[in-house]
Amino acid sequence: MRRPLIAGNWKMHFTVPEGLEYALRLRREVERYASAVDVVILPPAVMLWEIANALRGCPIEIGAQNAAWEDQGPFTGEISPKMLAGWCHYVLIGHSERRQLFNETDEELNRKLQAALRHRLKVILAVGETLDEYEAGRTAEVITRQLDAAVYGVELESPIDLSIAYEPVWAIGTGRAATPDYANETMGLIRRLLEKSFKRLASEMRILYGGSVTPANARSLMEQSEIDGALVGGASLKAPDFTQIIQATVEVVQSQRV
């Protein structure tokens, strides 16, 4: 059984004091679930150091929301994987907002992915189709293109080094989550694509669902055979909601062990 991963993407929310207060509250509520699930939070870059220190010794891991493809150089405003490696465990690459708002290409994301792995960061790679692509029946085509391009030439030492987050863009922040069956079917496609690149490792790699995950739908999503966790956006900004999603995941894991 693959160990579940729940990642909370804070996006551009919270000031540093607000983020610290939230992280400490989350620590109190989440530590009891550490034996059954991996929990990652992805704060804005300006507070990574403070939150990493505040959570030192805690099972909650820290991740960055983005990273550059170079170690250093004339890249104003960028943060390199080499800089992040000192206090981050994870990095999120390819979120749809980065693709759409900042015009990140599949080729750029491949370079970012390779740079992050080179510095021993675990990567959560996001892929997913827009509403127009979904309605045109192009989901498989889009995900195949995105995933094949992003992992081209990538070699993994361990299956936990790379997780894939399937985020249907039409579901992000809309309250309109994909149905569990549809998500599971699409994530099965992702695992088959991973098998082409990573062979036997693919069966151990984690595939997460992202897109309007809430306490109300978390359990039905986590019960699906191909769903190994969640990339949570809006619900990760409220400690009770995020904790309930983690709790639902743990309950599913425990029920499957009976």
Report, as an integer, the average pLDDT of 226-249. Answer: 97
Separation CA 168–CA 105 (nearest Å): 17
Report, as an integer, the average pLDDT of 218-233. Answer: 97
CA 62, 66, 71, 76 dihedral sign is negative
Separation CA 25–CA 224 (nearest Å): 30
pLDDT at 3 over 90: yes
171 versus 138: the higher-pLDDT residue is 138
Q: For this structure, is 167 an active site residue?
A: yes
SS3 of residue 210 by DSSP:
strand
Separation CA 129–CA 143 (nearest Å): 7
Dihedral in degrees, nearest 10, Cα atoms 114, 117, 123, 127: 20
**Yes or no: domain 5-257 corresponds to CATH 1.20.1440.120:** no
Give the residue carrying structure tokens 């890249």.
Answer: 75
Report, as an integer, the average pLDDT of 112-140. Answer: 96
211 versus 222: the higher-pLDDT residue is 222
The confidence score (pLDDT) of residue 175 equals: 72
Report, as an integer, the average pLDDT of 187-201. Answer: 97
Q: What whole-number percentage of the chain has pLDDT above 90? A: 91
Q: For this structure, is 95 an active site residue?
A: yes
Task: Give domain limits for the chain.
Answer: 5-257
Picking from 129, 230, 227, the residue whose alpha carbon sits closest to that of residue 170 is 129
pTM of the prediction?
0.96
Q: How far is CA 58 from CA 29, 43, 61, 151, 160, in A?
A: 12, 16, 8, 31, 19
- Annotated active-site residue in 70, 135, 167, 251: 167
The confidence score (pLDDT) of residue 245 equals: 98
Summarised one tens digit per residue, pLDDT across range 71-124 is 999 999 999 999 999 889 999 999 999 999 999 999 999 999 999 999 999 999
The confidence score (pLDDT) of residue 61 equals: 97
Give the residue carrying structure tokens 């992003």.
Answer: 150
Q: State the average pLDDT for the chain.
A: 95
The confidence score (pLDDT) of residue 1 equals: 72
The confidence score (pLDDT) of residue 258 equals: 60
Summarised one tens digit per residue, pLDDT across range 23-69 is 999 999 998 998 899 999 999 999 999 999 999 999 999 999 999 99
- Annotated active-site residue in 61, 95, 97, 129: 95
